[in-house]
Amino acid sequence: MSRTVPATFTGRWISSPALVRGTRTLGGYVLALGGILFLNYVLLRLLPGDIQTVIGAEVMTRAPAAAPGSAGPSSLAAFGHYLLRILKGEWGVSYFFHRPVLQVIFQFLPWSLVLGFLSLAAASLLGIVLGVEAAGKADGWLDRLATGGAVVFMSLPGYLLGILLLVLFSILLPLFPLSGGVRPFTPAWSLPFFLNALRHLALPWLTLTLLMFPEYYLLTRGGMDLSLRRPFILTARGKGLRERVIRYRHAARDTLIPVLTRVGIQMGHLVTGLVFVEVVFAYPGVGTLAFESIQRRDILLMDGILLISAVWVVLMNLAADLLLRRLDPRVKEAGG
Amino acid sequence: MSRKSLRLSRGFWWGAALAGGILLLGLLAPWLAPYNPWNVTGQPFEPPSRAHLLGTNDAGQDILSELFYGGRTSLTISLAVAALSMTLALFVGIAAGVSPVADRVLMRIIDAFLSVPALLIFLLVSVHFSLNVPRLIVLLSLLFWPQPARMIRSQILSTRAEKYVEAARGFGATTGYLTFRHFIPALAPVLLAGFLTRLRMAVFIEAGLAFLGVSDPTVKSWGTMLHFASQYLYLGCWANWILPVAAGIFLTVLGYTLIGQALQGRSLRGEA
């Protein structure tokens, strides 16, 4: 590994102008979405138990025909029809909630968004700051502590860390509630509502933050090691700049790019992390909803969740790409 | 620098000792476990005693024996998944790195794979095919190959740009020769790092799926133990039930992480 530019951009035959690469990236995302839609369509119609087997035999006798929406998976026209419906926003009705799928998802989504963004922000901030500070004094106490912490938390899966924190802070020291998002029947949008929601948020947030920070920490720490040895740092030192300015404005900026790319990628992992952590804490987010709707064979709702999260991941990757292009002039110059 | 490399290699030995020790415990499970973990050998929820060192679970089975056999399952699955997915990744990565045409197609496929939230797909499929161990291994491997494949490809691309490859090409080396003589040997660190990451991910996700209750509940695994144990959190038996399982998963993965960190050492930039 000689340099920091990802090998993608140094490859010899990737020398087409930025525009071409831009459209190609976009094309990739479109293809990805198409693939997801198709997978979505096929997989969900392959599931063995349908609504009728779950609801019971009574419905079977009353309506023995196929469940609504389960067209044959081989029919291309049916797939086209499905695409059209998705585009029009007609995602079907959840049989469990008796409400349109999109409505149900948007009811659960805010909880997950708050949890996800707050923990991602905390994790990346913590990881970057710790990484920069630890690299400043290599082998110091902070470096040892942070690296040790990162290795420990990398070795704990989300559900396990969640359960351990739950035992620690809800059972041994009953500081935080065991489960849920907010105490029932608290009037919405009032001050007690927010305070109570925050109390419920604390443990899932802590779990996700601790889970995600090692990745940012290790990336930043490793990158800083390299960039602090680069000539421009020597120049900055020679100019007599303060250590903090050198670390954050010069060295960290050079390191930030792979870290930010990783933030985009982790958005996808976030969905996975959310499922486990939300299930452990019975938090009323999309993760719990996904898990429960699979158990209830609520096919259309599951369909919708998968689609929403796939679109989400694609959008976040795209955002990371665009951000990278803005931040790093080398990406444009290399034509890559 | 010397101090640092010393510390890293110490981490490596700790990791190797942990991973090796747990592997040994898993291999020797039938001889080490005091009971058959499927047999009911006590009352439900017995606290730890001389007869049952970690007590019994909700069905009256010996938790210590479950722990040994559970480790066996985790290790088998994670090793198989890591090997299978890295093999797949190697083929795809080389194809993409060597042929520009294959590269365009494969990279788009990889992009598509990476933008699907794997766990959700996994939950879906696991409902469709009731999951036994071989199916789990195949399915996990199918979901785990894209990321290392991409890393293998970028490594090949940067090897291609090296002067010595250009020199070899100048002497008339064929793509096949370059692949076996230059590209594959340069892949060793990437392959090893990928393998370790896959191991870690496989332990996590296998136990996670069992914890969510979507894999075969009759298979003794750390995940199924967590699944049942977490339903009785309020009984206070977590100390002898959840903590040992947590320690098992944690120490196993800690071993892999330490080895990985030590090997990656200077270039933490890759896959952390």
Chain CA centroid to CA A178, Å: 24
User: Measured between alpha carbons, how far is B126 from B123 in angstroms, rounded to an integer?
Assistant: 5
User: Does A31 contact chain B (CB < 8 Å)?
Assistant: yes
pLDDT tens over chain A, length 336 residues? 343 444 344 333 344 445 455 566 666 677 777 877 887 777 666 655 555 555 554 445 555 455 554 544 456 777 888 888 888 888 888 888 899 999 999 999 999 999 999 999 999 999 999 999 888 887 788 988 998 899 899 888 888 899 889 888 887 887 787 777 777 777 777 777 778 888 888 899 999 999 999 989 988 988 888 888 888 888 888 888 888 888 888 888 878 877 877 777 777 668 778 889 999 888 899 989 988 888 887 878 888 888 888 788 778 777 777 777 777 666 555 443
* Sequence-distant (≥ 6) Cβ neighbours of residue A140 within 8 angstroms: A134
Q: Which residues of B touch A226 (CB under 8 A)?
A: 269
Interface test with A, best of B5, B106, B115 (most A CBs within 10 A): B115
> What number of CA atoms fall less than 13 Å from residue B11's CA on the CB side?
22
User: Measured between alpha carbons, how far is A136 from A123 in angstroms, rounded to an integer?
Assistant: 20
Interior angle at CA A321, CA A316 and CA A325, nearest 5: 145
Q: What is the CA radius of gyration of chain A?
A: 24
Mean pLDDT of chain B: 83
Model confidence at B94, pLDDT cuts 50, 70, 90, reads: very high
Q: Which residues of B touch A11 (CB under 8 A)?
A: 157-158, 160-161
Residue B92 has pLDDT above 90, yes or no: yes
Q: Give yes or no for a contact between A299 and A50, defined as CB atoms under 8 angstroms apart.
A: yes
CB contact under 8 A, B115 and A36: yes
**C-alpha to C-alpha distances, A270 to A16, A42, A208, A264, A313, nearest whole angstrom:** 33, 25, 9, 10, 9
Q: Give yes or no for a contact between A274 and A285, defined as CB atoms under 8 angstroms apart.
A: yes
Q: Which residues of B touch A134 (CB under 8 A)?
A: none
pTM of the model: 0.80
- Report the domain count for chain B: 1
CB contact under 8 A, A35 and B112: yes
Residue B74 has pLDDT above 70, yes or no: yes
ipTM above 0.85, yes or no: no
Range of the domain at B204: 3-271
Place of tokens 């967590």: B226
DSSP three-state, residue B62: strand
Q: How many CB atoms lie within 10 A of CB B270?
A: 19
CB contact under 8 A, A32 and B272: no
Q: What is the mean pLDDT of residues B36-58?
A: 80
Domain of B245: which CATH number? 1.10.3720.10
